[in-house]
């Protein structure tokens, strides 16, 4: 049963953009990329691509990665400025270089060499949003707005692919890189186990290698739902150990049977979009608090 899932309510736009390609029998990664790109192009989404809210000095700095579940081929770019389609750029890193991750100026140079246009990513609305959300005192970008789009696809041939793309935490320090471009943290895809993506406070996701954790739970026999819940429990117990409140984090997973799972820490209010035949549904994910309830 082919399927597309994507994080957050704007994921509905991603799923809608991806579905025609899925029906055409295109490979999972191409389908996922089309979905992610629709969000990168959407100026009303202030956490991804064009129209993303800037870092602490107002610069839009993007992170993205892609992974092919058939081969475990993957690519990522981090802290990239002036390039709108960073997910496609991550795919180029995968296809055209011997590397997995390019960052900053090197990634931008590679983009230009590959024919990507240099773009201004700020919009009047995203600048206004930056001023509105600018921390007044004790700046803690971890509390600021975020929301990455991760698109996971099971294609007609039964293979998985995933794409993750974001402008990261708003008001982050220049040079800060979150989980989203890091294979294993923001995204992990392996046809022999499943696909998973993460969203929320990247520092906490990196700490447990979140998406890899979810995929390995599926490899061990858990359903996508059980696997996501296991990752949230891990974050919750870690927060107790560290004496902090669990950060807002959510996981989304899809396996080769087309089963979908999602879970989040409390107060995350995580919703995701999922294809159902020709329709797109928005689903509220289960939240687990520090007691595991």
What residues have CB less than 8 Å from 206, skipping those under 6 apart?
A: 178, 179, 182, 185
Other beta carbons within 10 angstroms of residue 289's beta carbon come to: 12
Compute the least distance from the CB of residue 25 to ligand ASP, in Å: 31
159 vs 185 by CB, closer to ligand ASP: 185
Least CB distance to ligand ASP at residue 70 (A): 26
Q: How far is the CB of 20 from ligand ASP (least distance, A)?
A: 26
In the chain, DSSP assigns E strands to 3-7, 62-68, 74-80, 101-103, 149-154, 160-166, 187-190, 194-200, 249-254, 260-265, 271-276, 279-284, 286-288
- Dihedrals phi, psi of 262, to nearest 5 degrees: -160, 150
Q: What is the DSSP letter of 221?
A: T
Q: What is the 3-state secondary structure (H, E, C) of 93-124?
A: HHHHCCCCEEEHHHHHHHHHHCCCCCCCCCCH
Check if 192 is active-site.
no
Tell me whether residue 19 or residue 264 sits nearer to ligand ASP (CB atom). Answer: 264
Residue 147 C-beta: closest distance to ligand ASP, Å: 5
Helices 86-96 and 28-40, interaxial angle, to 10°?
A: 150
Interacting residues with ligand ASP (CB under 6 A): 146-148, 166, 168-169, 178-180, 199-202
Of 29 and 198, the one with the shorter C-beta distance to ligand ASP is 198
In the set 148, 150, 165, 166, the catalytic residue is 148
Nearer to ligand ASP, 56 or 166 (CB): 166
Residues belonging to the active site:
148
């Amino acid at each position: 049963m082919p399927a597309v899932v994507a994080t957050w309510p704007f994921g509905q736009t991603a799923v809608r953009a991806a579905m025609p390609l899925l029906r055409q029998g295109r490979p999972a990664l191409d389908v996922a990329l089309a979905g992610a790109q629709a969000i990168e192009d959407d100026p009303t989404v202030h956490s991804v691509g064009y129209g993303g809210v800037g870092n602490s000095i107002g610069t839009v700095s993007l992170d993205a990665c892609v992974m092919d579940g058939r081969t475990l081929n993957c690519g990522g770019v981090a802290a990239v400025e002036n390039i709108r389609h960073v997910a496609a750029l991550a795919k180029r890193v995968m296809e055209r270089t011997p590397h997995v991750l390019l960052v900053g100026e090197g990634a931008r140079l590679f983009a230009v060499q590959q024919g990507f246009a240099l773009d201004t990513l700020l919009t009047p609305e995203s600048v206004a949003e930056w001023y509105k959300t600018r921390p007044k005192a004790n700046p803690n970008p971890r509390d600021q707005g975020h929301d990455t789009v991760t698109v996971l696809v099971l294609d007609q041939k039964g293979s998985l692919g995933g794409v993750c793309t974001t402008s990261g935490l708003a008001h982050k320090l220049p040079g800060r890189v979150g989980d989203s471009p890091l294979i294993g943290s923001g995204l992990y895809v392996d046809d022999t186990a499943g696909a998973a993506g993460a969203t929320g406070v990247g520092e906490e996701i990196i700490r447990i290698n979140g998406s890899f954790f979810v995929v390995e739970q599926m490899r061990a026999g858990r359903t996508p739902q059980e696997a996501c819940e296991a990752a949230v429990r891990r974050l919750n117990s870690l927060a107790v150990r560290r004496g902090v409140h669990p950060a807002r984090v959510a996981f989304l997973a899809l396996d080769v049977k087309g089963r979908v799972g999602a879970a989040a820490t409390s107060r995350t209010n995580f919703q995701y979009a999922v294809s159902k035949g020709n329709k797109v549904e928005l689903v509220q994910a289960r939240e687990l608090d520090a007691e595991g309830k």
